[in-house]
Amino acid sequence: MYELIIIGAGPAGMTAAVYAARKKLNAVLISYDIGGQVLWTAGVENYMGYQFIEGPELMQKFQEQVKQFPIDMKTGGRVSNLSQIDGGFEVRTDKGESYRARAAIMATGKRPRQLNVPGEEKLRGRGVTYCAICDGPLFADENVAVIGGGNSALEAAEDM
C-alpha cells in the first residue's frame, strides 16, 4: 500500500511527484506516457526560466528531476479504473496491474478536441495549435483561423 498514487505524468503529475518525494511520501506515479500535452508543443515561451524551450525538452527536464527521488514510475499502461476501498483507493490498469494507496491525485490533464482534417496531426505544433493564449504570440502579424464555437472561440479570436 502506497501513501499516494499520482495518475498522470504531464507537468502537474510530475510536479506532484516531486512534492510528494520531498515530503518523504511513499508514492507511485502511473501514466501511459510521460509529458502529456506539452509533448505536442514545438516551442514554449512562457515557462519561467526559459526564454524558449521545446515541449519534449522541457518534459525531459521534468523527468530528470523526478528521477532524482525515490518515486515509483509505472508507464505504458492506461488507468482503467479508480475506486475507493477501505483505507484509500485502488487503481487498475489495462495491463492488469493493481495499485493501492491512502490518497490519490488525478493529474490527467486535458486533450483538445480534434478536427480530424487532413494534415492536422502532421502540423500539430507547427501551425496547428489549440491554445490562443499560449501560442497566439507565435503567430503575430500572420493570417490565422480560429475554429470553434461559443464563448471560447470568441475569446480566442479576440486574443488573436
Residues recognised as catalytic: 131, 134-135
27 - beta bridge partners?
Answer: 4
CA–CA distances in Å: residue 141 to residues 100, 111, 127, 148? 52, 28, 14, 21
Query: Burial of 37 by CB count in 10 Å (0-12 exposed, 13-18 middle, 19+ buried)?
Result: middle
Q: Which residue has the cell 478536427?
A: 115
Angle formed by the axes of helices 11-22 and 55-66, nearest 10°: 20
Edge-first strand order for the sheet with 72-75 is: 72-75, 27-31, 2-7, 98-106, 88-93, 79-85
| Rounded Cα–Cα distance for residues 62 and 8 (Å) | 13
